[in-house]
A and B are shown apart, each in its own frame.
Chain A
Amino acid sequence: MLFVQIVLLIDIYNSVYLVKSRSDLKILVIIPAYNEQVSISMVVKSVNQSLPEADIIVINDGSKDSTLSVAAGSGAKVISLPYNLGIGAAVQTGFMIAHNGKYDVAVQVDGDGQHDPQEIGVLLDHLLNSDSDVVIGSRYLINLGYVTPIARLLGIRILAKYISILCKKRLTDTTSGFRASNRRAIQVCASSYPSDYPEPESLVTFNKIGINTSEVPVSMNQRYGGKSSITPFWSAYYMIKVILAVTILSLRRAPNLEDKTNDF
């Protein structure tokens, strides 16, 4: 009797603690890349170094440079889109693969090297030890030394404030593409992911369909190579466009989550 109880206790212990350990999880790291031949190899290698158990997939979004061959040479699995679809659609392609491959966690890391792959562990730990479905690496939650040009910082602050109000929760880095998502969020992102301003827009969608998000502080590097999609000059313009897009989105019905990925 006692023996059975002990076995039972061990079972419970296993199911509660051990299953939640990182090594049992199937993790997919999604790296969207558009003209990132300078940085992509470094990004893949350092992801592989800090998370050797994870599968890495580079989504080459119709690059015009040699991103494809460099990424393939770095040992990652590469999906090449036939023409440039934009970051949102590229990331969604990664989520489709994560969903089809029944991955437990999908981590997004930008191909330009601004996210530090060593910090993926921080995202993962928080994802496993909280009720969040999506954990976002924030540059602004606490100051870890990331320097942002003044104009852009102002835009980011206003945007964060606005989206915080829309989502009724405090968000500090709404444009961060450094995220970890669990199965529930993977399923949502695979079937419906915004394409114009995916990072801020997806936050509003998450809020709408009850996907829990939370932020953890990360440091992030200054860009390694290539060009940012947001130059300082366009910050204000970008912010206004995003605010408009997000406002319209918040008035829209929650997306219909039909499964577009079943055919694979």
Chain B
Amino acid sequence: MISDRLTLFVIVAALGLLILVLEMVRRRALAEKYSLLWLGLAVIILVLAVARPALDRIAPVLGIYYAPSALFVTGFVGLLVILLYFSAVITQLTRRSRTAAQHIGILTERIEQIESKIKRDSDPK
């Protein structure tokens, strides 16, 4: 089934990615919701690499006549999707941290005012 060295290499790499991501999730170094895309990509590549006959049939449909290239195309598209998703996440985080910083600024000034008012009120002249 595993006919050539390249396919074997891809299978090992995909398995490695799968294990690495799962381990990172287990150690809480990676949040579940950010691991799903990685896991999905690893599984797809793994399945395509193992099921070589299917790959041989799908690849020509996409105009790819060297079947293993289809694995790399899959990996490339998958990475693009993941990067785009993370750019969107960064955008959202930036917006949220900006709002948080603005609120910190406003609230800090308020606390200082309240504290100095309390000090003034409790000061026995």
CA distance A263 to B103 in the complex (A): 9
**B101 partner residues in chain A, CB cutoff 8 A:** 81-83, 85, 89
The interface bits of chain A over 28-46 (1 if a CB of B lies within 8 angstroms of the residue's CB, else 0) are: 0000000000000000000
CA distance A34 to B50 in the complex (A): 58
| A96 and B106 contact, CB distance less than 8 A | yes
- Chain B residues in the interface with A (C-beta under 8 A): 98-99, 101-110
A182 on the interface (CB 8 Å rule)? Answer: no
| B109 and A89 contact, CB distance less than 8 A | no
27 contacts between A and B (CB under 8 A): A59-B105, A77-B109, A78-B109, A79-B106, A79-B108, A79-B109, A80-B105, A80-B108, A80-B109, A81-B102, A81-B104, A81-B105, A82-B101, A82-B105, A83-B101, A85-B98, A85-B102, A89-B101, A89-B102, A92-B102, A93-B102, A93-B105, A93-B106, A96-B102, A96-B106, A195-B98, A264-B106
A180 on the interface (CB 8 Å rule)? Answer: no
A134 on the interface (CB 8 Å rule)? Answer: no
- Chain A residues in the interface with B (C-beta under 8 A): 59, 77-83, 85, 89, 92-93, 96-97, 195, 260, 263-264
Write the nearest CB–CB distance from A85 to chain B, whole angstroms: 6
10 new A-B pairs (CB below 8 Å) besides A77-B109, A89-B102?
A80-B105, A80-B108, A81-B105, A82-B104, A89-B101, A93-B105, A93-B106, A96-B102, A260-B99, A264-B106
How many residue pairs bridge A and B at CB < 8 Å? 37
**A263 partner residues in chain B, CB cutoff 8 A:** 103
**B102 partner residues in chain A, CB cutoff 8 A:** 81, 85, 89, 92-93, 96
Instruction: Tell me the nearest residue of chain B to A93, going by C-beta.
Output: B102
Write the nearest CB–CB distance from A240 to chain B, whole angstroms: 22
**B109 partner residues in chain A, CB cutoff 8 A:** 77-80
Instruction: Tell me the nearest residue of chain B to A57, going by C-beta.
Output: B109
| A89 and B98 contact, CB distance less than 8 A | yes
**A81 partner residues in chain B, CB cutoff 8 A:** 101-102, 104-105
Write the nearest CB–CB distance from A60 to chain B, whole angstroms: 8
**A80 partner residues in chain B, CB cutoff 8 A:** 105, 108-109
CA distance A208 to B45 in the complex (A): 46
Task: Sort A-B residue pairs by CB-CB distance and give the 6 closest, nearest first.
Answer: A81-B105, A93-B102, A79-B105, A79-B109, A89-B98, A82-B101
CA distance A264 to B106 in the complex (A): 9
Most buried by A among B99, B103, B106, B109: B106
Write the nearest CB–CB distance from B110 to chain A, whole angstroms: 8
Write the nearest CB–CB distance from A50 to chain B, whole angstroms: 24
Instruction: Tell me the nearest residue of chain A to B113, going by C-beta.
Output: A77
CA distance A64 to B81 in the complex (A): 39
CA distance A92 to B101 in the complex (A): 12
Most buried by B among A78, A79, A96: A79
CA distance A264 to B109 in the complex (A): 12
Write the nearest CB–CB distance from A162 to chain B, whole angstroms: 25
Most buried by A among B101, B107, B108: B101
